[in-house]
Amino acid sequence: MTGPARAVWCESAWLGAGGVADAVRVEVDDAGMVVGVLPGVPAQDGDAVLSGVAFPGAANAHSHAFHRALRGRTHDGGGTFWTWRETMYRAAAALTPELYEELATAVYAEMVTVGWTSVAEFHYVHHRPDGTPYGQGDGQGDGHGPHAMELALARAAVRAGIRLTLLDTCYLAGGFGAPLEAGQRRFSDGTAERWLARLASLRAAVAALHPAHQVSVGAAIHSVRAVPERDLAVIAAQLPPGLPLHVHLSEQPAENEDCLRATGRTPTALLAAHGLVGGRLSAVHATHVSAPDIGVLAAAGAAVVLCPTTEADLADGIGPAGGFRAAGVTLALGSDQHASLDPWLEMRALEHGERLRTGRRGHFAPEELHGIASLGGAAAQGRRGAGFRPGCAADFMAVDPGSARTAGSSREQLAYTATGQDVTGVVVGGVPVARDGVHTRLGAPGPLLAGAIARLDAASVPATDGAAAPAHQGSS
C-alpha cells in the first residue's frame, strides 16, 4: 500500500454503526483508496472539502445509458410497456458511436452530480443498425474501428469521472423460438461463440486503454428469452471465471409463463440447470420470482439488483425485497432506464415498496439502505466498495442537512429525506467530480442532456417493428 497522496475533509461524515462524526479527514492513496480516517481534525491546505454530511458513494448496479432519452416521453394515453419499448427501439436505431458518447457523457455527468460514483452499464447496442460489426465490412465509410460503441461508453465514463463496469451483453433471439426483429439486429453476434470471441477482444482492448479501477469489462445475458438454451450451455462452459455476470430475470409474469411453456422451468431454474446461477451472478429485477427461485439464488450466493423507480414507472410490480433479505441474498440498486436518476430516491423506494407490500414500516434501517446502495452495488460490479475505512474506495457523496427537504432530519436518517438536489459534493477516488449539482469539468448536466437528446431525436426515424410485439416479449 502506498502512502497518502491526497485527503478529503468532510464537515461531517456518516461512519456506519458509529453514527455521524464531525470534522472527518480521510487520507487517500494514489490509487484512490482510503488509508486513514481521522475524526475531529481540521482541514489542511490542499484537501478536497465536502460540506454537509458525507456518505459512501452509491454504486449503480444497472444502467442502460441511452434509455435516459426516454424520460418523460412514453406516457401518452397513460403509457404501457409497449409504448415505452417503441420509443426505446427508435432511440437504439439512431445511435452512432459519436451520438452515444455524447449522450452517455451527459448521463454519467448527471449520475455523479447526484451521488452515483460507479456504474454497471448493461450494454447491448453493439453493431451497426444492419447488424454489421464495427470494424468489419465496408462500414459505409464511417471510419469506425472494432468495439466502437463500447469504447465510446468507456470514454464517456472517463470524461464524467465515474467508475465503469461495462457489462457486454449476449442478445441472440427475439423470444423463445423467435428470430430477432429488425430493430434487434444490431444487438446480436449470431451465436454465443461469436459473442464470447468479441467479449475476449473487447476485454483486451479496454485493458490496453484504461486501468481496471476506472473501466472494467463484465458480461451479461440479456434474458432467458433472448439467449436460447443451446447458447446458455455454451456460455456456462466457456465464460472466463471471475467475470461478473448479470441477467434480466423475471421482470414480468409473462416472462415466467413463456419460459415455463417453452422449457418446463422458471427462468431461475433454467439458468440453474445450465450452471449459470452462482456467486458471480446478479439477477436484475427478479420482481416475479417464486419462493423456490429465491432459495436457489440464495443458496448459490447470487445477488439481486432492484431498480424500484423503474419497476414502478414500467408497472412491473413490487419485488420481494424482504424475502431476498430474509434468505440472505445480497441486494443492490440500479437506475435502469433512468426514469429517476437519484440514488436517494432508489433507497427510499426500496423501503417504501416493502411498506406498501406488507402494510408495515421500518424494514430497512438507514444503515442497511446505504450498504445496499454502496457495498451491494460495488459487489455486483466486482469492485471494492466505498466507505470510511482503510481499504475502501474513497468515493463519497455529501448532502445538505438543512435544505427544504432535509431540515430537521436526524443526520443518521437522511436516507429517508434527502434527494439528489441536496447533494453538495461528490468525490471519486478522492478527486472532486461535482459540486452543488454541477460537474467540475463538464458543467451543469441539464444542457448537456438537452443537446444530446436533441441530436439523437434529429437522427431518429419512426420505429417499424417492436411497437406491436405481443405482450410476452419481455424485459428492457
Give catalytic residue positions. 285, 336
Q: Is 212 helix (H, G, I), strand (E, B) or coil?
A: coil
* All three cell numbers of 369: 439502505
Only one residue has cell 417492436, namely 466
Alpha-carbon gap, residue 30 to 351, rounded angstroms: 37
Query: CA-to-CA distance for 444 and 438, rounded, in angstroms?
Result: 5
CA distance 342 to 346: 6
H helices, E strands: number in the chain: 14, 16
- Longest alpha-carbon distance in the chain: 66
Q: What does 364-415 look like in DSSP terms, one character per residue?
A: S-HHHHHHIIIIIHHHHHT-PPB-SSTTSB--EEEE-TTSTTTTT--GGGGG
Strand order in the sheet with 438-439: 34-38, 20-29, 4-14, 48-56, 396-399, 423-428, 431-435, 438-439
Using the 8-state DSSP alphabet, how is residue 271 labeled? H
Q: What span, in angstroms and rounded, lies between the C-alpha atoms of 443 and 46?
A: 22
SS3 457: helix
* DSSP H or E stretch at residue 318: none
- Find the distance separating the first CA and the last CA of the chain, reported in whole Å: 42
- 115: which residues sit within 8 A by CB, 6+ positions away? 55, 57, 58, 342, 343, 344, 397, 399, 420, 423, 426
Contacts with 7 (C-beta within 8 Å, 6 or more apart), sequence order: 25, 26, 27, 28, 44, 46, 47, 48, 430
Phi first, then psi, for residue 235 (nearest 5°) are: -65, -45
Q: Return contacts of 93-96, CB within 8 angstroms, 24+ apart.
A: 93/129, 93/183, 93/186, 93/460, 93/461, 93/463, 94/456, 94/459, 94/460, 94/461, 95/66, 95/125, 95/149, 95/456, 96/142, 96/459
Task: From residue 453, give the alpha-carbon distance in Å to each of 69, 73, 142, 149.
Answer: 6, 12, 21, 17
Which residues are CB-contacts of 454 (< 8 A; sequence separation ≥ 6)?
A: none
